[in-house]
Amino acid sequence: MTKKREGIVRETQSEKVERVCNQIIARHHYKSILNIKHDEILIYDVLKGIYYDDECVSIRTLSMEILGSQWTVHLQNEIITKVAQKTAVKRSEFDVYPNLLCCANGIVDMDTLEFSSHTPKTLFRRYVNTNYDPDATCPAFENICIRLCSHRKKCY
């Protein structure tokens, strides 16, 4: 904080950017993929369990809300850059779970059929827009499996 002659303490621009950036990150889960041409800032969708690109709309909106009359395009751009730097991950860290399937209502381990809740720690960008139901059956699929594997006791 810098001090003015009148005894009023004012934030520097970099302190303001840091403060607003931290407030925004505290409200939402972000992951950024830093690119040479354009950084991609992804926001976590709690309902779907995936990260998606909202084109920084949430950051712009929140920076305007937090800064009020102090908001400027320049400050907003610095905040976006700071969020990207603080939340950077490699693109290769997304969707690297060959045995996990992100469904509309949670995550299914396809090896064990264990079901768990969505979590921002599991970095998905894609999901299946249907609910997992462990008790569901599919007679048509089961009949095909029986015909193809009739010589085995069980093949699926």
Spatial contact of 89 and 123, defined as CB atoms under 8 Å apart: yes
Spatial contact of 41 and 79, defined as CB atoms under 8 Å apart: no
- For residue 149, what pLDDT is reported? 72
Neighbours of 18 (CB within 10 A): 16
- For residue 10, what pLDDT is reported? 86
Could you tell me what percent of the chain has a pLDDT over 70?
90
Arithmetic mean of pLDDT, 19-43: 93
Q: Residue 43, Cα to own-chain centre: how many angstroms?
A: 4
The C-alpha atoms of residue 105 and residue 128 are separated, in whole angstroms, by: 9
Distances in Å between the Cα of 102 and the Cα atoms of 38, 40, 92, 116 are: 27, 22, 17, 10
Domain spans, the chain: 2-92, 100-148
pLDDT-derived band at 7, boundaries 50, 70, 90: low
- For residue 8, what pLDDT is reported? 73
Whether 152 has a pLDDT exceeding 60, the answer reads no
Whether 5 has a pLDDT exceeding 60, the answer reads no
Query: What values do phi and psi take at 17, rounded to 5?
Result: -60, -45
- For residue 22, what pLDDT is reported? 98
- For residue 139, what pLDDT is reported? 87
Could you tell me what percent of the chain has a pLDDT over 90?
72
pLDDT tens readout for residues 88-144 = 999 999 999 999 999 999 999 988 989 999 999 999 999 999 999 988 888 887 787
